[in-house]
Structure 1
Amino acid sequence: MTGSPVTGLGSSRLGPAERAGALDQMAREEFDVVVVGGGIVGAGAALDAATRGLSVAVVEARDFASGTSSRSSKLIHGGLRYLEQYNFDLVREALTERALLLQIAPHLVKPVPFLLPTTHRVWERAYFGAGVALYDALAFRMGSSRGVPHHRHLTRRGALKLAPSLRKDAFTGAIQYWDAQVDDARYVMTVLRTAAAYGARISSRTQCVGFLREGERVTGVKIRDLETQTTAEVRAKQVVNATGVWSDDIQELVGGRGQIHVRASKGIHLVVPKDRIHSSTGVILRTEKSVLFVIPWGRHWIIGTTDTAWDLDKAHPAASRADIEYVLEHVNSVLNTPLTHDDVEGVYAGLRPLLVGETEETSQLSREHVVAHPVPGLVLVAGGKYTTYRVMAKDAIDAVAHGLDGKVAESCTHDIALVGGEGFQAMWNSRYRLASVSGLHVARIEHLLSRYGVLVDDLLGLIADKPDLGKPLSGADDYLRAEIVYAASHEGARHLNDVLARRTRISIETWDRGLGVVQEAADLIAPVLGWSKKQRDREIEYYRKRVEAERDSQSQDGDQEADARRRGAPDIVPTAAPSGVTS
């Protein structure tokens, strides 16, 4: 297969040759739009623009989704807590998007159930019940179902049948409702691959270090290929700043931050083995500051999150011991067998890009997004939440269209299946046949289908050519060796950390944080990316230092100490100093 969502489109492959070709084209041609930022909003903007017929380039300073977009709660949800803030429009918009994403990416976005325990028999059940009923009601939209089952009320006995690990004295009953979940980093990469199939030129490890201008108008960006340290000028009719928590930094390159400011709020998550909590459903808990989710995640649970201000290193936000203890304390309040630090397999921290408001509490800052033209030729999109990325992208490209001469088509991404999604149900129905033909167990086929959709044929082709790639990784046997090769050959991974932290989630799903697979994974990646033995050893050493620094940071009491320890592991490809504006 070529990786195209529809016959007749170009390849969606994002390999080394495609990156080189994209950079070559960026240096030679003028684009309708250049998108700065390879997170979910930048990826969505690229796809929106490409499917409107615009020529598009995307540059990302680090790896795709390496910031906020790989460190979320991994939920596609309406935001039940926003109902208490009477933000009905935001919830309705997010629930509409939830239903849509279940349709355009059925291989990646899956329904997931949650229990909302209640502690008062009458008023709380009525209060929460009304809220969840409204949540379900808002999920309906013209011509579409909600995409998930309806909520239901449960007695304490009924709730304990679903979640035996809950303490009997911690609640009186519960409401079960449904949302959806996603591998956030994989989804971003899939959106980018879909954009590539529609003609977008995409490059990671390519930093925007300045802007090109003619008078007041921005006419492009100056980029540095961080792998080769070469620079180029990319000319464009419009530039989109979709850099999340880095939005203000990019704005400063063009001569000032403007009127829109973004503040970072840190949220941390713990990963624990499935057998530590006996439950067939997720759980949502109210805390004094936010909400805490216990989220099913394969053979694990993800538990989070926190909501605290962060003004330290944006690239590598650190989880402190205090953060971890906060999450453990709150989840243990409802568990009959408390979790300890020894139960924690993985920890990750991410930053939410919140629009600055009048309040100083980050939990009260706006999750709604804003699109602005700070200077002619430059569009800024900021704020928002993962679930509503497509709306943010549409609004950003609407602003781009306004700045372009000539008529630009309306957004059509609501009708565009992501690569791997077209025909997924039919392929899923054929999983036993695929298992028989490939020689893999049907459980392996289901795993591959849930990650690659109909692109599973690409992986099965690799395994047919080299049967050894059909074996699981030693020390991370949820993943096949073929997936490591494919990450480098098709999914834009440039470094070992890209593969272990984002193309797979080995770095948070194994007790040793992936240290046991680094040699095997590096050996598989090396031929694809042309690594020498020296580079292979360097990749392994960097990954080991990163894990050591993360573990060290997680033993520190506060943010300052944790940040200092996390900074002890330098990036394998450091970012460049900005150069500003070139006329």
Structure 2
Amino acid sequence: MVAGGKRDRLGPGELGPEHRRTAWERLGKDRFDVLVIGGGVVGSGIALDAATRGLSVALVEARDLASGTSSRSSKMFHGGLRYLEQLEFGLVREALKERELALSTLAPHLVKPLRFLYPLTHRLWERPYVAAGLTLYDTMGGAKSVPGQHHLTRHGALRLAPGLRRDALIGGVTYYDTVVDDARHTMTVARTAAHYGAVIRTSTQVVGLLREADRVVGAKLRDTEDGRTAEVRASVVINATGVWTDEVQGLSHQRGRFHVRASKGVHIVVPRDRIVSDAAIILRTATSVLFVIPWGAHWIVGTTDTDWNLDLAHPAATKADIDYLLDRVNEVLVTPLTHADIDGVYAGLRPLLAGESDETSKLSREHAVARVAPGLVSIAGGKYTTYRVMAADAMDEAAQDIPARVSPSITEKVALLGADGYFALVNQTVQLAEHYGVHPYRMTHLLDRYGSVVDEVLAMAEGKPELLQPITDAPAYLQVEAVYAVAAEGALHLDDILARRTRISIEYPDRGANCAEQVAHLVAPILGWDDDDIEREVSTYQARVRAEIDSQTQPDDKSADALRVAAPEPRPQLLEPVPQDR
């Protein structure tokens, strides 16, 4: 990529309105080798895996890319240190290999190294115990391109993290993992798949499966924007819908090989100055661990781990969830956090594998792949970091239903869009900033969001210098980023832009409500919105924000869920999935 280079048009990985129009036509007339249901990181990874094997592939998603679990994680591309205690050595080794690939080759613009402090609280036994675990972690690959563990006295640990109470630790150990913007990463995987020929279409819901005798041969689709229907045919259909696995499975009228249990994880987002530390912090709790992770000008504190049996699309955080996080983190902080310190809250659902009953099968972070019926493969479980391995496993299982010879997976060699040339551009940050007329710190921010396609983004401001100004009520982002989100990144609604293409909805106390109107006017020309559309989008988004904030004052899941699901849905033709016994 040439610094300051100019493109006359967006690249082949763009997911703008024109791609959306042609994608619908292709879904209705082409026959695909593979149809993927689900636009999370696993589904997007399968689309990329299939496309780079030379197969024709289509991916459909009822809502938005990463709109479920894949935008609501702990924002780490980590090796799973805590799984060592569960003796899941294979999972940790696999995750560390994937972390190294992402950090060095596949997505260095999106996945960044992150130093963690592990405060020690017990004398004699804890330091050698933790050292042994971290030595194993480092040996498995945890210290390949980042430093290994480093031991600190109490004084050294407090110098690194002055915000911790002196009586909360007796020493510390540092080690490295990574941080990632999960929603942007998932979207970039999908765009990379499109770059290699995949048809990617959001707001496209599977409402039925097509069958010939006992074989699944495609799916019935519904456009959740306008209600149009179509049928798409494929040699194999892959169900990669995460916590919706059982619902989609129900469309096949076949008994599933596994079930998925949804576990709710809640995170809070607080300003960076509320916790004084130069490292992320990992804390033990009675049942799991608590992460305190730097996130731009904020900290993310999480997570909880509770069963969720209500609305899968909009898991709601309760006051009890938030109080739990505050109570746990305040046990170690010099200056306690309060509800008033919280800028953002988000809740996500982990898709955990479950057997026919809790007695016969423990819930697991391992993934499973099953050929449910001829022409239908399901994949579920796993963790974000191992999405690429999950995708390859799903395609290997699906290969038996594809008439043509299927080549092996090569995605460990396929850099994501924006990775190629990224390191060179980092060395040209000052020159790039001068060329485009933005501050160098702003250019660093852009490079870490877009990588080497940053020129595509900034080229959209040519002749429109106002687009290089910050969004008024969300100044961490430029106006051109909202425009690019709909022109190239597949965003169709304000929620897509403010919650996933940017993270405004969790980074500002108003959750993006104050900038909704400005953003709507910025993107209206590209999406073809008139004044009524703008008003509806703004009111729908602001109602969603009010519902979420209100739900976070409720004492339990049921009352919080009732408030959240009452908010209007931006995709007006979205149908509720067929309910299944959970």
TM-score (norm 1): 0.96
| Alpha-carbon offset, residue 437 of structure 1 | 1.0
Indicate yes or no: 2:406 matched with 1:408. yes
| 1:373-415 Cα deviation digits (max 9, x unpaired) | 0100001010000000000000001112122223211000000
Alignment partner, residue 332 of structure 1: 330
Call closer, same or farther: CA 1:291–1:455 in 2, change over 3 Å: same
Alignment partner, residue 246 of structure 1: 244
| 1:128-183 Cα deviation digits (max 9, x unpaired) | 1111111111116xxxx723221111111111111100000011001101001110
| Alpha-carbon offset, residue 230 of structure 1 | 0.6
Q: State the alpha-carbon separation in 2 of the partners of residues 34 and 270 from structure 1.
A: 36
| Alpha-carbon offset, residue 232 of structure 1 | 0.4
Indicate yes or no: 2:364 matched with 1:366. yes
Alignment partner, residue 309 of structure 1: 307
What is the SS of the residue equivalent to 2:536?
Answer: helix
Indicate yes or no: 2:525 matched with 1:527. yes
| Aligned residue type for 2:540 | Y
Alignment partner, residue 541 of structure 1: 539
**C-alpha contact (below 8 Å) 2:257/2:370 kept by paired residues:** no
Alignment of 1:79-90 (within 5 A): 79-90=80-91
Alignment of 1:337-486 (within 5 A): 337-357=335-355, 360=358, 365-486=363-484
| Alpha-carbon offset, residue 463 of structure 1 | 2.0
Q: State the alpha-carbon separation in 1 of the partners of residues 265 and 577 from structure 2.
A: 28
Q: State the alpha-carbon separation in 1 of the partners of residues 519 and 545 from structure 2.
A: 16
Alignment of 1:503-518 (within 5 A): 503-518=501-516
Q: State the alpha-carbon separation in 2 of the partners of residues 182 and 14 from structure 1.
A: 22
| Alpha-carbon offset, residue 568 of structure 1 | 1.6
Indicate yes or no: 2:116 matched with 1:119. no
Alignment of 1:5-84 (within 5 A): 11-84=12-85
Alignment partner, residue 576 of structure 1: 575
| Aligned residue type for 1:290 | S
**C-alpha contact (below 8 Å) 2:247/2:577 kept by paired residues:** no
Alignment partner, residue 499 of structure 2: 501
Alignment partner, residue 110 of structure 1: 112
What is the SS of the residue equivalent to 1:465?
Answer: coil
Indicate yes or no: 2:224 matched with 1:226. yes
**C-alpha contact (below 8 Å) 1:113/1:281 kept by paired residues:** yes
What is the SS of the residue equivalent to 1:382?
Answer: strand
Q: State the alpha-carbon separation in 2 of the partners of residues 251 and 281 from structure 1.
A: 43
**C-alpha contact (below 8 Å) 2:418/2:450 kept by paired residues:** yes
Alignment partner, residue 558 of structure 1: 556
**C-alpha contact (below 8 Å) 2:247/2:578 kept by paired residues:** no
| Segment of structure 1 superposing worse, 545-554 or 115-124 | 115-124
| Segment of structure 1 superposing worse, 387-396 or 76-85 | 76-85
Q: State the alpha-carbon separation in 2 of the partners of residues 163 and 307 from structure 1.
A: 26
| Aligned residue type for 1:14 | L
**C-alpha contact (below 8 Å) 2:44/2:190 kept by paired residues:** yes
**C-alpha contact (below 8 Å) 2:254/2:373 kept by paired residues:** no
What is the SS of the residue equivalent to 1:63?
Answer: coil
| Aligned residue type for 1:522 | A
| Aligned residue type for 2:96 | L
Alignment partner, residue 205 of structure 2: 207
| Aligned residue type for 2:277 | S
Alignment partner, residue 135 of structure 1: 137
Number of aligned residue pairs: give it: 570
Q: State the alpha-carbon separation in 2 of the partners of residues 460 and 377 from structure 1.
A: 44
Alignment partner, residue 148 of structure 1: 146
**C-alpha contact (below 8 Å) 1:248/1:257 kept by paired residues:** no
Give the superposed CA RMSD: 1.8
Alignment partner, residue 6 of structure 1: none
Call closer, same or farther: CA 1:470–1:510 in 2, change over 3 Å: same
| Aligned residue type for 2:334 | N
| Alpha-carbon offset, residue 228 of structure 1 | 1.6
Q: State the alpha-carbon separation in 1 of the partners of residues 189 and 372 from structure 2.
A: 27
**C-alpha contact (below 8 Å) 2:183/2:501 kept by paired residues:** yes
Q: State the alpha-carbon separation in 2 of the partners of residues 233 and 470 from structure 1.
A: 42
**C-alpha contact (below 8 Å) 1:241/1:381 kept by paired residues:** yes
**C-alpha contact (below 8 Å) 1:265/1:307 kept by paired residues:** yes
| Aligned residue type for 2:64 | D
| Aligned residue type for 1:67 | G
Percent identity over the alignment? 59
Indicate yes or no: 2:93 matched with 1:95. no
Q: State the alpha-carbon separation in 2 of the partners of residues 344 and 332 from structure 1.
A: 13
What is the SS of the residue equivalent to 2:334?
Answer: coil
| Aligned residue type for 1:424 | Y
Q: State the alpha-carbon separation in 1 of the partners of residues 28 and 566 from structure 2.
A: 35
Call closer, same or farther: CA 1:361–1:68 in 2, change over 3 Å: farther
Q: State the alpha-carbon separation in 2 of the partners of residues 454 and 333 from structure 1.
A: 43
| Aligned residue type for 2:298 | H
Q: State the alpha-carbon separation in 2 of the partners of residues 260 and 120 from structure 1.
A: 41
Q: State the alpha-carbon separation in 2 of the partners of residues 362 and 259 from structure 1.
A: 14
TM-score (norm 2): 0.96
| Segment of structure 1 superposing worse, 302-311 or 255-264 | 255-264
Q: State the alpha-carbon separation in 2 of the partners of residues 50 and 61 from structure 1.
A: 21
Q: State the alpha-carbon separation in 2 of the partners of residues 447 and 394 from structure 1.
A: 32
| Aligned residue type for 1:576 | L
Call closer, same or farther: CA 1:362–1:292 in 2, change over 3 Å: farther
**C-alpha contact (below 8 Å) 1:273/1:343 kept by paired residues:** yes
Q: State the alpha-carbon separation in 2 of the partners of residues 400 and 82 from structure 1.
A: 29
Alignment partner, residue 7 of structure 2: none
**C-alpha contact (below 8 Å) 2:354/2:362 kept by paired residues:** no
Q: State the alpha-carbon separation in 2 of the partners of residues 285 and 530 from structure 1.
A: 49
Alignment partner, residue 5 of structure 1: none
Equivalent of residue 172 in structure 1, options 170, 193, 201: 170
**C-alpha contact (below 8 Å) 2:259/2:356 kept by paired residues:** no
| Aligned residue type for 1:134 | L
Q: State the alpha-carbon separation in 1 of the partners of residues 285 and 235 from structure 2.
A: 47
Call closer, same or farther: CA 1:512–1:108 in 2, change over 3 Å: same
| Aligned residue type for 2:34 | V
Alignment of 1:175-190 (within 5 A): 175-190=173-188
| 1:410-469 Cα deviation digits (max 9, x unpaired) | 000000010000011001111111011111110111010000001110122112231110
Gaps of 5+ in 1: 3-8
**C-alpha contact (below 8 Å) 1:270/1:324 kept by paired residues:** yes
| 1:174-197 Cα deviation digits (max 9, x unpaired) | 110100111000001000000000
What is the SS of the residue equivalent to 2:455?
Answer: helix
What is the SS of the residue equivalent to 1:75?
Answer: coil
Call closer, same or farther: CA 1:45–1:166 in 2, change over 3 Å: same
Q: State the alpha-carbon separation in 2 of the partners of residues 507 and 361 from structure 1.
A: 40
Superposition misfits of 4+ residues, deviation over 3 angstroms: 357-364, 577-580
| Aligned residue type for 2:575 | A
Call closer, same or farther: CA 1:314–1:217 in 2, change over 3 Å: same
**C-alpha contact (below 8 Å) 2:355/2:361 kept by paired residues:** no
**C-alpha contact (below 8 Å) 1:357/1:366 kept by paired residues:** no
**C-alpha contact (below 8 Å) 2:354/2:361 kept by paired residues:** no
| Alpha-carbon offset, residue 42 of structure 1 | 0.2
